[in-house]
């Protein structure tokens, strides 16, 4: 393995001896952009079956076929962590999705808060960013990116036994006693750049499953807060322990 | 204060009744881009004297004068934390500098490692990013961005009593017992995307002042690792405690 192998996300099942058809886009990327051809080896994963060595069996401009050779890494799923965030400017929204996928989020949920500017998102584009992050960072899991939904409705139908950590700029002390809460299912809520509204803040503080944390004495941008909050959670309750 | 005040970094001393001349660029930004004029109020800081309410005394296309009215926040310096990082692609390098300034780095030091591609950086551009981050995030301190230097030379002349935390992807366990090391002066070293060379890794592990930490079981991009590492440090040894 002189040169680093390409890692490609595919939707088909992966198992020894199976074949995987390539879409036009994948063929363009592999054969056009990356100059790979028949016989070349790469790595494939589908988010469920681990990572596999695959070889190119057929290559054309419009498609191709991969052959699945042998497993190179087992499937590794992240902790049961949802990441909720209020979409901001395009580049920083893309960044939050990329970082959530990298840091081990199981599910990414864009939410509309009182101070969110975004009325809509491009779910397909954000999902593609999550896939690319997994391809680049050696992951075998791809978090689902859901469609934009209103935070208050999501909180109304909140799943039983899922805890929620939210970052409150107005908090003075650290108060990060999440370890004592425990529990396997969690969500992190990153507020919008303008913070939460007073009504939202009051509601969040009153929810029995919601736990405020402070991210230090400085004002952080939403994308910074996302990575910092996931670090706090992973260190305290996740798989960094 | 109906609308959010502009925060402007200036180099002059700030004290009640003083006047501050504006550069051509600052005048262009304030009067051209932001449409402010004589009599308007904004906030000023210089990295040393806290934050001040200032008013526009004179405004022209080529310059202007601010008058310093009264202090709105005291000077707040970050912990004595240096952030060392190996420059990567332009956008992600800018991002690391922005995030280091936001998260409370006292000094930002781009370093050349064995696997760093960059031969040079634009120090003035990176310094401008650090200033912008302070302007946007309500900070009163601006970390100095130093010129690119070789990591091995920096380690050779390492200041006495400054501890170094470095992120080692090859580490299995968490091993984050930094709290036991203590000490007020620290540095964080973020490796390049390709990781450290074997020689660098061996050297780092042998240094008495260097402490390896793990950032979890996933491979993180350098910009993600920078924010995550600063979070670990701030929670354990910094001003988030």
Contacts of A102 in chain B (CB under 8 A): 218, 220-221, 224
| Region B7-73: CATH code | 2.40.240.20
Which residue in A218, A219, A221 has the most chain B C-beta atoms within 10 A of its own C-beta, making it the best mutation to test that interface?
Answer: A218
What's the alpha-carbon Rg for chain A, to the nearest Å? 20
- Do the beta carbons of residue A36 and residue A30 sit within 8 Å? yes
CB–CB of B241 and A174 under 8 A? yes
Q: Best mutation site among A140, A165, A174, A228 for testing chain B: the one with the most B CBs within 10 Å?
A: A228
Across A234-240, average pLDDT? 90
Query: Where in chain A do CATH 2.40.240.20 domains reside?
Result: 7-73
Helix/strand/coil (H/E/C) assignment for every residue in chain A: CCCCCCEEECCCCCCCCCEEEECHHHHHHHHHHCCCCCCCEEEEECCCCCEEEEEEEEECCCCEEEEEEEEEECCCCCCCEEEEECCCCHHHHHHHHHHHHHHCCCEEEEEECCCCCCCCCCHHHHHHHHHHHHHHCCCCCCCEECCCEEHHHHHHCCCCCCEEEEECCCCCCCCCCHHHHCCCCEEEEECCCCCCCHHHHHHHHHCCCEEEECCCCCCCCHHHHHHHHHHHHHHHCCCCC
> What pairing do the DSSP bridges indicate for beta strands B107-112 and B144-145?
parallel
For residue B71, give both structure tokens.
């202090």
Please give the interface size between A and B, counted as residue pairs whose CB atoms are below 8 Å apart.
86
- Residue A217: the pLDDT is 87
CA pair distance A104, A102, nearest whole angstrom:
6
Average confidence score pLDDT of chain A: 91
- pLDDT the model gives residue A4: 63
10-residue block means of pLDDT along chain B (241 residues)? 75 96 94 94 97 96 94 96 91 92 97 86 95 93 96 95 88 65 92 88 94 90 94 91 80
Q: Is the pLDDT of residue A124 over 50?
A: yes
Q: Please state which of the four CATH numbers 3.20.20.70, 3.40.309.10, 3.30.43.10, 3.40.1280.10 is assigned to the domain occupying B81-236.
A: 3.40.1280.10
Q: Delimit the CATH 3.40.1280.10 region(s) of chain A.
A: 81-236
* Segment A80-94, tens digit of pLDDT: 999 999 998 888 899
pLDDT at site B1: 35
**Binary contact (B216, A240; C-beta < 8 A):** yes
**In this predicted complex, what is the ipTM?**
0.90
Q: For residues A77 and A241, which has the higher predicted lDDT (pLDDT)?
A: A77
pLDDT tens per residue across span A21-48: 999 999 999 999 999 999 999 999 999 9
How many percent of chain A have pLDDT more than 90? 76
> CB distance from B68 to chain A under 8 Å?
no
Cβ-contact B38, B60 below 8 angstroms: no
pLDDT band with cut points at 50, 70 and 90 for residue A172: low
pLDDT at B158: 97
How much is the pLDDT for A1?
36
Contact criterion met (CB below 8 Å) for A7 and A135: yes
**Tell me, what's the pLDDT at A31?**
95
Q: How many CB atoms lie within 10 A of CB A209?
A: 18
The confidence score (pLDDT) of residue B3 equals: 54
Q: Which residue of chain A has the CA closest to B137?
A: A219
Average pLDDT over residues A53-78: 95
List all residues of chain B from 211 to 230 with a beta carbon under 8 Å from chain A.
214-221, 224, 227-228, 230
Adjacent-strand bridge partners of B68:
B54
Please report the pLDDT score of residue A2 as a whole number: 38
pLDDT at A69: 97
A235–B103 C-beta distance less than 8 A: no
């Amino acid at each position: 393995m002189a040169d680093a192998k390409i890692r490609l996300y595919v939707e088909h099942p992966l198992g020894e001896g199976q074949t995987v058809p390539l879409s036009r886009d994948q063929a363009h990327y592999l054969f056009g952009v990356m100059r790979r051809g028949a016989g070349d080896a790469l790595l494939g994963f589908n988010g469920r079956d681990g990572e596999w060595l695959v070889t190119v069996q057929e290559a054309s401009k419009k498609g191709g076929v991969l052959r699945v050779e042998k497993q190179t890494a087992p499937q590794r799923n992240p902790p049961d962590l949802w990441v909720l965030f209020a979409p901001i400017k395009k580049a920083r929204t893309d960044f939050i999705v990329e970082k959530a996928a990298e840091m081990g989020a199981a599910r990414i949920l864009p939410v509309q808060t009182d101070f969110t500017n975004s009325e809509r998102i491009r779910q397909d584009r954000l999902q593609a960013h999550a896939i690319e992050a997994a391809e680049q960072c050696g992951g075998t899991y791809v978090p689902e990116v859901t469609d934009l939904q209103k935070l208050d409705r999501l909180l109304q139908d909140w799943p039983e036994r899922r805890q929620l950590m939210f970052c409150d700029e107005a908090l003075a002390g650290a108060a990060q006693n999440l370890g004592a809460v425990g529990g396997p299912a969690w969500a992190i809520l990153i507020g919008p750049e303008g913070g939460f509204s007073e009504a939202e803040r009051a509601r969040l503080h009153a929810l029995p499953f919601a736990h405020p944390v402070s991210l230090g004495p400085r004002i952080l941008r939403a994308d910074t807060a996302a990575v910092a909050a996931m670090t706090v959670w992973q260190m305290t309750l996740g798989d960094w322990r």
